[in-house]
Every structure is written in C-alpha cells, then in structure tokens.
Structure 1
Amino acid sequence: MSDKLNQDNITPTEKPTESQEAVKQDAKGLLESLRRFLRELLDIRENTDQEATKEAIIADIPFKGHTSWILICSIFIASIGLNANSTAVVIGAMLISPLMGPILGLGMSLAINDIDTLRRSLKNFAVMVVLSVLTAYLFFEFFPIQDESSELLARTAPDIRDVLIAFFGGLALVIARAKKGTIASVIFGVAIATALMPPLCTVGFGLAIGNLDYAVGAMYLFIINTIFIALATFLTIKLLKFPMVRYANSAKRRRIARIASIVALLVMIPAGMTFYEAFQESMFKKQANEFVNATIGKYQFVSGGRYLDNFTSIKYNNGDKPEIELVCMGNEIIPANIISSWNTMMKEDEDFKRLVNTELHVIQGSQNDQVDQLKYINELYESQKNQLSSKAEKIAFLEAEVTRLQKNASQQKQIPFQDISAEAKANYENLVSLQYDNAVITDFNKTDTLSIFEIKWKEGLTPRKMVLENKRVHDWLKVRLKDTTIQLRGTSK
C-alpha cells in the first residue's frame, strides 16, 4: 500500500526527464556509430605504408637506361596518334609513359623537407621535358604529314577542367601509391586522365612547324598539370603525416625547411592564379552559352535560313576583348536591328554581366563567299539525315543544295587580284611574280571552276625553303580569299 502511495507521489517531470536522457544516450550512440563508419570508410592512414610509398616514389624518379627508352617510344607513339587524330593510340602511349615519377618526387620532397630528393626530382624533370619535346620535334620535323588535327589543337590551351583533372588525378595517384599493395589500375587510369604526354608532343609539333603560339600554349597546359599533380601529392603526404627528414645540423634543417616552404609557396601562387583565371574563363563561357541559347537559339527563321550551333565560336582571350561568333547558313539575313538588340542585351542585362566587353560577330551565309557555305553543307546534311527516309531523298537533298551554292558562287566569286598582289609583295620578300587564272575542270559528271595561282621565287632558295614558303602563301591565300579550293604552283626564277 505504501509503495503504491510512493508511486503516486512522483512528480510529473521525473518520467520525461528519464525519457530525455534515454534519447540523448541513443543519439550519442548513433553519432558514434556514424563517426566510426565514416572513419572506416574514408580514413586512409591506417592502411598506409609510409616507408614503402616513399621508396616507390623515389625509385620512379630517375630517367636513365630502360626508362629513357620507354619514354622515347611512348612519345613517338603519342606523336603518331596525335598526327593521325587517333584517341586510342594516344591512350596506348600514355599507358606506357613513365612521366609521373619526377612530379610525385617534387610533391613528396617538398612535403617532408627532403632536399636531396627535391634536387634529384628537378634534374630528372628537366631531362624528361627536354627528351620528350626533342623526340616529338624530330618526329614532326621529318615526318611528311603535318596536319593540325583536333587532337593536337585540343592541347594548346588549358581550362578549368584540365586544372581539376590534374589535381584529382594526382590525388588519386598518390593515394594509390600510399596503399599497402599498390592499385595498378588506378595508376593506369591517372596516366590517361592527366594527359601529361600529349601537351609535350604538341610543344614539339609547334616548334617543328614554327608556330610558337601552339608550343607556348601546350607547354602552359603541361606546367599546369605538373603543378597541380605535385600540389595534390604535397597535400596528401602532409595529411598522411609522413615523417620529416631529419638533419644532424639543426641550422641546416631549419634552412632546408625554409627553402622547402618557399618553393611550396611559389608553386601554390601560380597554381592559385591559374585556377582563378581558368574559373573566370569557365564562368564566361557558361554565360556566353546561356546568351547564345537566349538569342539566336530562339530566333525563328522563316525562309530557309539556319543557325549552325556546332560552329559557334566562343573566345575568352584572357578577358581582353572576348568574342562570340555565330554562323548562319542560307539566303535569309537576320535584320540588323535584331543583332543590335542582342548586343544591347549582352551589355546591359544583369544575367550577362561577364559579357559586357564581348564583341558579337554574326556570320551570315548570303554575305560571305560561297566556299563558306560549302564548308557547312556537311553539317546541314548531318542535322537533317534522320529526317530523310530514303537514299534517293538524301541524294536529291544534297544535289539541290550543291546546285544552289554553285549558282550563287558563279555570281559572287571574285578575286581582288590587285589587293592580293600588293599584300603578297609586302609580306614575302623573296617573291618575284604572281599570276592568277581560273581553270574549268570536269570529271564528266560535274563541272567546277578553280582559282589557280602561280608564283615565282628569287633564285638561291633551297628546295626545303621553297616548299615552306609555298605552304605559307597557300595557307594565306585560302584564309584571305576564304576559299579552300585554291590551287598554288610555285617555282624559282
């Protein structure tokens, strides 16, 4: 009876208090279980073999003997793949390339204050770059085909994606190296993703054809990849708390630590600046694409005109006079007031504030030489082929389009010979004479008219020099006259 009375006398707040404590204990247990799960999922320190990792990275630094020949062979393979525009061959070359060793050595030596490894890494890195560029240069210098393939041109300028690929690729690689039992598949994957070799091949290509813009742009891309791979290695080694190299002389140890810190800082500053610039370019291109979609992307052509979105050109130009170039095909012209309203939108709309200083160029088919439209006919066919139900319709479609272009070409195609000859004389000091004529050519199925130029050079030019000069003049004429069918014959006086 007294027990019942005691239970009845319990205050109303005591039972909820016990329930709150139980909930708190359950919550703490849940958080602890979650923390333990995440630690087991993401913690890499427990399964790291620091000594084996350090030895493996140091062992991959030197370039001599077998490693040098493997590098040379892989550069040749990559150069052939870039020249042939074959992604598969380039990937195969990257799989056998030993380019990562000195770069990982740079990051690790800075992280643990190992001045000897740093010195050895820098020396082998220089050897690696020189050997790679020299090999690629020799290939492209003496190989008869020097086409500017899309695979080559893609390696002439970095953007923010290259920066992120290099950083996370380097991160994955050093984590794989640090694991007990190295994950070989990760190493191969990183070798492909970070793409260190193609930029070096492109540097050699740029030097071989005398195009320093290609060479500088590709070397810049390679340096960006190198910096961010080394930075990822540095941060990972620091996170894994690799032991610092100790020196008997405390003054020497402090001096080396200071040097390593300064070098690491010097590496991080350009890395940060590059990331910022790449980010700015990425944001510019994002807004530029939004602008294109909001303007010409929604424009309604009513009489046969067509916007060729695959030929849109967006150039950031490092923030100095960026450009957006839009290409249209057909006889329908977008009115000047519409283009003016697009310019106003680009400069005044808050949604496109990054495009304020951008120049907008709208290239319209009926305002250009017909060769420009001929260049886009394949794009037009590709976009329409799914709507054409039979081979006969495809043939009729193409024949009608070619007939229209040839008819317009006969009316509009003119060669400003006086201007061309004056410019040629001013640009090419060895030029003696320039002759121009039209040739009517037929294969009995169709007839075509070609522009043929004949030039004569001063005596004394070597055959190789004459070939190079002929190529320069030919390329200039094709760009100047916007006609890829121009023929050129060059001889000495």
Structure 2
Amino acid sequence: MSEALGNKPNPTNGNVEGGHEVKRDFQGLLGSVKKFLWELLDIRHNTDQEATKESIIADIPFKGHTSWILICSIFIASIGLNANSTAVVIGAMLISPLMGPILGIGLSLAINDIDTLRRSLKNFAVMIGLSVLTAYLFFAVTPLKEESSELLARTSPDIRDVLIAFFGGLALVIARAKKGTIASVIFGVAIATALMPPLCTVGFGLAIGNWGYATGAMYLFIINTMFIALATFVVIKFLRFPMVRYVNSKRRKRIAQLTSIAAFLVMIPAGYTFYKVYKRSVFQAQAQTFIQEQVLSYKFQKDGRLLQNNSVIEYNEGENPLVELLFVGSETIPENVIATWQAQKNKYSHLVDSELRIVQGAKSEAGDQLKYVSELYESKKAELTSKDAKIKFLEGELARVGKFADVPFAEIAQEAKVNYENLQSLGFSYKLVTDFTKIDTVPVFEAKWNEAALKKPKQVEADTKKLEAWLKLRLHNESVGVSGE
C-alpha cells in the first residue's frame, strides 16, 4: 500500500518542471528576438572605417572643379527659386557639393583631428561666401525679383527643419560608412536637408535689401549645418572610429580637450535652437487648435465671419506671443463671448502668456469687399497656376471692388433729389447676379417715388430709366442698375 502510494506522481513537482520549461522557452524566444534585432540594426560589422574617413576628408576642399560645380549649382538653384520651380531646385541640390565640410566638422570633432577640423571650418567659410556671393550677383543683376513661395519658405525655420537635418545627417553618415556607399541615400539627403535654397535666399535678401529674409534664411542654414554635424558626430562615436594619435602626449591631451570643448559648444546652441524652434512650433499648433475648437464653433446670427487666412499667429522670443483674429461683417462679437475665449485660451499650456486680440474694424461694405478679395484669392490660389493669371485675377477683382468702394452715395442722393422732385427716397446696395457661368456683384439703386408720381406709371417708368442712365454716366459704370416702386 505504501509502495503504491510512493509511486504516485507528485503534482507539485510536475508544476515546477512545467514552469521551468515555460521559462526556458520564454528566454529562448527573447534570445531569438534579440539576435534578430541585433542582426537587423547592427551597422558596425559592415562599416569600412578607413575608407569612410578618407572619403569624407577628400570631399572637404573647395578648389578647382568643386568650386565651379558649386557656382553652377547655386545659379541653377537661384533660377529655380526665382521661377518658383521645385523641380529645378531639386536638380540643383543633386549636383551641389555642400555636404563635404559639414561632415568634416562632425568627423574631426569625433576623432580629435584638429587639422581636419581647421580645414573643414576654412572650407565651410569659403563655401558660404562663394554661395551667397553667387546668389547675390544673380539676384542683383536679374530684373526678376519676385518673392516666390519657394524663396519665402526658407525664411522661417520650424521644428520640422531641425528633425529633417538631424535624421538626414544620420542617414548620410550611415550610408557613407557602409562598405559600398549607397549613392541614392546621399542624393536623397541632399534633397531633404535642402542646404542650398537657404543660401540662395540669403543672397536674394541682400540683393533686395531685406535683412529679415537674409537673417531668417541664414538661421535656417545654420540649423541644418549644426544638426547634420551633430548627427555625424553621434554616428562616428557610435561606430567607435579610432582617435587620431599624436606623438606628443601633451599635444594629444590638449587637442582632445579642444575638440571636446568644440563639440560641447556645438551641442549647446543646437540644443537651445531645438528648444526655441520646438516652442514656436507647439505654440503655432496650439493656436490653430484653439481657433478650430473654440473660435470657429461660434455661430453668428447675421453676416459676421472670421477671416482665418488674415489672422495673425506670431511667436516672438522674449515678448508675449500674439493671436490676432480678424472678423468682418456688421455683427459684433459680444464681450462675454470674447471673455470666454480668453478663459478657454488659458487651457492650452503654450497659450497662457499669449495675447488674444480680437479685431472687428472692417465693418463697412467697402472693407468687406476688400477683405473678400483677399480671402477669395487664398481660396483660388491652388487654381491659379501662373503668375500672370494671379496678377490678372487680382487686378480685375481690385478694379471691380474699387468702383464700388468709391460710390459717393450722399452726393448722388442730393443731386437725384434736385433732378427728380417726385423722388421720395433712394437706397443703395450690392446685388449678386449670375448668368450661370459666373457670379458677379453689381451696384443697385432703389428709387421710391411719392404717391403723386405713382398715379402716372408711364412717367415713373420713364423717370426710372432716365435715373439709371444718369447714374451710369455719373459713376462711369455700365453695370449700375435701378429698381423703382
């Protein structure tokens, strides 16, 4: 009996053995996943350190052929920016040799190579000077100095430019470090980081005397440069490139200290720049969210509306940010609604210290019409593919609105009363008219005759026609209409 009992399996032992097996299987799974991820993401085993270093150093100098290639690419980029052609700008970036000195700066800081650092900084200065001078000469000589959207896009950097520069720099150095360099990556990074357009925009700003454009574009270029160099530094350190050895131990120590200080000094403005640009980007994003969620939900009872394209979202370092909303129409926004918006604004963390300014000044018909032209242009902008079409469209709208805005109604009313004694009142308004191919706005006068005149319908009809003919002549506008009763 006891033997039988002794031969019974112990359920506790079975559970322990099963738990060990599950643990071993789980550890094996983790090991397999770890091995897979290591093989997938490891870049050290396929890196040619010596060839990478030699290729980066070889691309640093700007002499002879490289200088002329840079000059030609700057001319092409300037023409593309001036013509607002993205394709031409991309072509210029593909042939430009701007990356050499920047990669050299990152490499030299990472391996304590003071000679390469000195050579990189020298050629970096030459590169900037040659690029800006070439762009300046082009824009100073050419009669075409239009502020195209391609140019203006390079005057105000945001958080996306920082991220593009950093990750573009990472991709570039990793591609250069691989055995058998991936040329397509190098070309792609040249396009993505867009170092050349900001330098061309600096030349454009100097040529037209606009220092705001020049400094904004140079700021964008410096941001790109710092973060590409920083990405190079990080990758070279990660790949454990050998440090440059110096025979003199004191010199080696001093150079190591100098390069470490230089690397630290590069990282400080890079980090500060990232923080500033991040704050500006978050402020702008929260301001747009505030407008969408709080302001646009307000329902006007009459004809009021927000001109969102004409509103201002402005972030200035050291000053209170500004959110200025422009409303038009005869309806004013109640004070309690504005107070509610002020309170709701403070729920957004980056809008707490900002000023919310409500502008309701454009309440006249002429003001509405002029603002209408501005907003109508913004809505039609995608359809207007050429500059000539844009100019023609705006000129036509402004000419039409100008005629309406200049109607001297008070004078016309007095003159009409003198000429037509049976005229009891005269009104004036704008009327939307369509022939089902286009919609137009025409000025319409409403003449109301007294009871004595209404007893003679034919006379009223004749006087109404004469009044309409006189108004067309008086206002030099054949679209004027008169309705009578």
Shared fold (TM-score greater than 0.5)?
yes
SS where residue 317 of structure 2 aligns? helix
Q: Which shows bigger deviation, 119-128 or 278-287?
A: 278-287
Amino acid at match of 2:189: V
Post-superposition shift, 1:161?
1.0
For 2:151 and 2:360, locate their aligned partners in 1 and report how far apart those are by CA, in whole Å. Answer: 26
Aligned with 2:347 (options 324, 346, 350)? 350
Instruction: Name the structure 2 match of 1:199.
Output: 198
Post-superposition shift, 1:256?
0.6
Contact 2:139 2:204 in 1 (8 A): yes
Instruction: Name the structure 2 match of 1:463.
Output: none
For 1:94 and 1:381, locate their aligned partners in 2 and report how far apart those are by CA, in whole Å. Answer: 31
- Where do 1:141-290 residues align within 5 Å? 141-290=140-289
Instruction: Name the structure 1 match of 2:436.
Output: none
1:137-196 Cα deviation digits (max 9, x unpaired): 111111111111121111112111111111001001001111111111111111111111
Contact 1:165 1:193 in 2 (8 A): yes
* Residues 1:18 and 2:12 are matched in the alignment: no
Instruction: Name the structure 1 match of 2:298.
Output: 299
Amino acid at match of 1:75: I
Q: Which shows bigger deviation, 157-166 or 322-331?
A: 322-331
Post-superposition shift, 1:364?
5.7
In our comparison, the structure showing a higher alpha carbon Rg is 2
Instruction: Name the structure 2 match of 1:137.
Output: 136
Post-superposition shift, 1:22?
0.9
Instruction: Name the structure 2 match of 1:374.
Output: 373
Post-superposition shift, 1:331?
4.6
Instruction: Name the structure 1 match of 2:68.
Output: 69
* Residues 1:41 and 2:31 are matched in the alignment: no
Amino acid at match of 1:183: I
For 1:360 and 1:260, locate their aligned partners in 2 and report how far apart those are by CA, in whole Å. Answer: 49
Amino acid at match of 2:291: V
Contact 1:323 1:361 in 2 (8 A): no
Post-superposition shift, 1:294?
2.5
- Where do 1:51-70 residues align within 5 Å? 51-70=50-69
For 2:350 and 2:106, locate their aligned partners in 1 and report how far apart those are by CA, in whole Å. Answer: 39
Contact 2:56 2:100 in 1 (8 A): yes
For 1:4 and 1:236, locate their aligned partners in 2 and report how far apart those are by CA, in whole Å. Answer: 69
For 1:146 and 1:336, locate their aligned partners in 2 and report how far apart those are by CA, in whole Å. Answer: 46
Contact 1:291 1:352 in 2 (8 A): no
Aligned with 2:359 (options 337, 354, 362)? 362
For 1:215 and 1:401, locate their aligned partners in 2 and report how far apart those are by CA, in whole Å. Answer: 32
Amino acid at match of 2:197: P
1:228-267 Cα deviation digits (max 9, x unpaired): 0000000000000011111111111111100000000000
Go from structure 1 to structure 2 and tell me whether the alpha carbon gap of 1:22 and 1:92 turns closer, same or farther (over 3 Å shift).
same
For 1:77 and 1:330, locate their aligned partners in 2 and report how far apart those are by CA, in whole Å. Answer: 47
Contact 2:321 2:353 in 1 (8 A): no
Post-superposition shift, 1:36?
0.2
Post-superposition shift, 1:3?
8.4
Post-superposition shift, 1:317?
1.4
Unaligned runs of 5+ in 1: 385-398, 413-439, 448-493
RMSD: 3.1
Post-superposition shift, 1:310?
3.5
Contact 1:166 1:225 in 2 (8 A): yes
Instruction: Name the structure 1 match of 2:432.
Output: none
Instruction: Report % sequence identity.
Output: 62
Amino acid at match of 2:220: L
SS where residue 350 of structure 1 aligns? coil
* Residues 1:407 and 2:404 are matched in the alignment: yes
Instruction: Name the structure 2 match of 1:470.
Output: none
Go from structure 1 to structure 2 and tell me whether the alpha carbon gap of 1:122 and 1:325 turns closer, same or farther (over 3 Å shift).
same
What is the TM-score when the length of structure 1 is the normalising length? 0.75
What is the TM-score when the length of structure 2 is the normalising length? 0.76
Amino acid at match of 1:264: A
1:90-126 Cα deviation digits (max 9, x unpaired): 1111111110010000000100011111111111100
1:27-50 Cα deviation digits (max 9, x unpaired): 111011000000011111111111
SS where residue 360 of structure 1 aligns? strand
Instruction: Name the structure 1 match of 2:107.
Output: 108
1:414-460 Cα deviation digits (max 9, x unpaired): xxxxxxxxxxxxxxxxxxxxxxxxxx9x999889xxxxxxxxxxxxx
* Residues 1:7 and 2:15 are matched in the alignment: no
Q: Which shows bigger deviation, 266-275 or 77-86?
A: 77-86
Instruction: Name the structure 1 match of 2:416.
Output: none
* Residues 1:317 and 2:309 are matched in the alignment: no
Amino acid at match of 1:356: D
For 1:180 and 1:445, locate their aligned partners in 2 and report how far apart those are by CA, in whole Å. Answer: 77
Q: Which shows bigger deviation, 232-241 or 361-370?
A: 361-370
For 2:71 and 2:382, locate their aligned partners in 1 and report how far apart those are by CA, in whole Å. Answer: 43
Q: Which shows bigger deviation, 165-174 or 211-220?
A: 211-220
For 2:476 and 2:67, locate their aligned partners in 1 and report how far apart those are by CA, in whole Å. Answer: 53
Go from structure 1 to structure 2 and tell me whether the alpha carbon gap of 1:66 and 1:403 turns closer, same or farther (over 3 Å shift).
closer
Contact 2:128 2:199 in 1 (8 A): yes
Post-superposition shift, 1:83?
1.3
Amino acid at match of 2:193: T
Go from structure 1 to structure 2 and tell me whether the alpha carbon gap of 1:446 and 1:155 turns closer, same or farther (over 3 Å shift).
farther
For 1:95 and 1:445, locate their aligned partners in 2 and report how far apart those are by CA, in whole Å. Answer: 56
Amino acid at match of 2:49: Q
Post-superposition shift, 1:351?
3.1
Contact 1:288 1:355 in 2 (8 A): no
For 2:333 and 2:61, locate their aligned partners in 1 and report how far apart those are by CA, in whole Å. Answer: 61
For 1:312 and 1:83, locate their aligned partners in 2 and report how far apart those are by CA, in whole Å. Answer: 28
Instruction: Name the structure 1 match of 2:460.
Output: none
SS where residue 228 of structure 1 aligns? helix
Contact 1:284 1:355 in 2 (8 A): no
Aligned length: 404
Go from structure 1 to structure 2 and tell me whether the alpha carbon gap of 1:443 and 1:219 turns closer, same or farther (over 3 Å shift).
farther
Post-superposition shift, 1:361?
4.0
Unaligned runs of 5+ in 2: 384-395, 410-472, 481-485
Contact 1:343 1:360 in 2 (8 A): no
Q: Which shows bigger deviation, 402-411 or 45-54?
A: 402-411
Instruction: Name the structure 2 match of 1:82.
Output: 81
1:55-79 Cα deviation digits (max 9, x unpaired): 1111111111111111111111111
For 1:237 and 1:446, locate their aligned partners in 2 and report how far apart those are by CA, in whole Å. Answer: 73
Instruction: Name the structure 2 match of 1:484.
Output: none
Post-superposition shift, 1:327?
3.7
Instruction: Name the structure 2 match of 1:433.
Output: none
Instruction: Name the structure 1 match of 2:386.
Output: none
